[in-house]
A = this chain, B = another copy of it.
Amino acid sequence: MLPYFTEENSVETVNARMSEGANPRLVQVMSALVKHLHAFAKEIELSQSEWEVAIDFLTRTGQICSPERQEFILLSDTLGLSMLVDAINNRRPAGATENTVLGPFHVAGAPEREMGASICLDGKGESCLFEGRVLDLNGNPIEGARVDVWSDNAEGFYDVQQPDIQPKWNNRGIFTTGADGHYRFVGIKPVSYPIPDDGPVGQMLAHLGRHPYRPAHMHYIVTAPGYEKLVTHTFVGEDEYLDSDTVFGVKNTLIAPYERLQDGLAEWRSPFDFVLVQENTSAER
C-alpha cells in the first residue's frame, strides 16, 4: 500500500497509479506532465481562486472553438509552445531552410497554377513577384518540387476568414518546379495582421500587455520526393512586428528582401531560395 497523497509526495503518488499495461510512451508523457504541472503549482503556490480562474479560462477556451476557430492552438502559439514543438521536430543541418509554424489557415487542395501566374484574385494590394529556386544542400536544383503558397490579402485576412467577401483560393496556389528548380509567381506584398483576439487568448494577451499582431509573411509548404517536408514562411524585412511576432514564428534566416520594381510584372520583387534536406538525414522525429 502506498502512502496517501501529500504535498510532498504528490508526483510519485499520482504517477504510481499508471498501469504497467498502458502504452509506454503515454505513461512517459503523462508522468512528465504531472511532474511539471505539480512543480508549477508548487513553485508559485497556486491559490484556490487562481485555480478557479484557470479552470474558467480553459473552459472558455474550449467552448469558443469551432470548425472555423481553434483557440487552443492560439493559446499554444502565443505561449511559444507551437514554435517549440516545431523546433524540436525539425532540427536541420546548417544551410537548410528552417521551419516555422504552419498556422491555422492552410487549406489542402489549392489550385495548381502555371509557373509565373498570379495567386491574387481580388485585385487588392501591392503586387509582388516571388521567385527563387528549390535546392538541395549541395546547391543542386530539385525538379518536381511542389511549392504550396498562401498569404493574407491586402486587408490582413485569409480567404477562409472571409468566405463571403474574398474569391475562393484568393492568394493561394501550388507551383511545381522544372529541371532548373525555379519557382515564380505573382502575389501581393503581405501585410501584418492580428490573430483573432476577441476570445480568452486575446484577453490573456491584453492582461500581459502583449499585442496580437503577426509580422507580414508569405506561407510555404515545399515538398519533393526523397526530401523532408518544409513548412515555413518568408517575412517582410522591414515589418514593425518582426521583433514581437505574437506567435514567435520569426527566424533571422526567413527574413526576405523586398525590392521595388520600376517596371515589369509587379511593384515589388522578393527573391528567396529554399534548401531542402534529404529524408533521414535530420534529427527529425
Contacts and interface: CB of A to CB of B under 8 A. Distances in A.
Nearest to A17: B210
Given A21-B209, A250-B4, A83 B10 contact: yes
Nearest to A249: B5
Interface stretch (A41-49, A127-135, A216-224): A41-49
Nearest to A65: B59
A50 interface: yes
A261 interface: no
A158 to B, nearest CB: 19
Give the contact-size bracket for chain A.
Answer: 35 or more
B88 A41 contact: yes
A55 interface: yes
Given A42-B84, A55-B76, 6 more contacts: A1-B243, A7-B87, A7-B88, A59-B72, A60-B62, A62-B63
A85 B41 contact: yes
A58 interface: yes
Contact of A5 (B60, B83, B208): B83
A12 B113 CA distance: 42
A interface SS class = helix
Contacts of A55: 70, 72-73, 76
Contact of A88 (B46, B81, B244): B46
B209 A22 contact: yes
Number of copies: 2
A67 to B, nearest CB: 11
A237 interface: no
A108 interface: no
A88 B42 contact: yes
A6 B166 CA distance: 35
A207 interface: yes
Contact of A41 (B1, B39, B51, B84): B84
B50 A4 contact: no
A59 B7 CA distance: 29
Interface string A120-163: 00000000000000000000000000000000000000000000
B79 A33 contact: yes
Contacts of A21: 209
Contacts of A11: 80
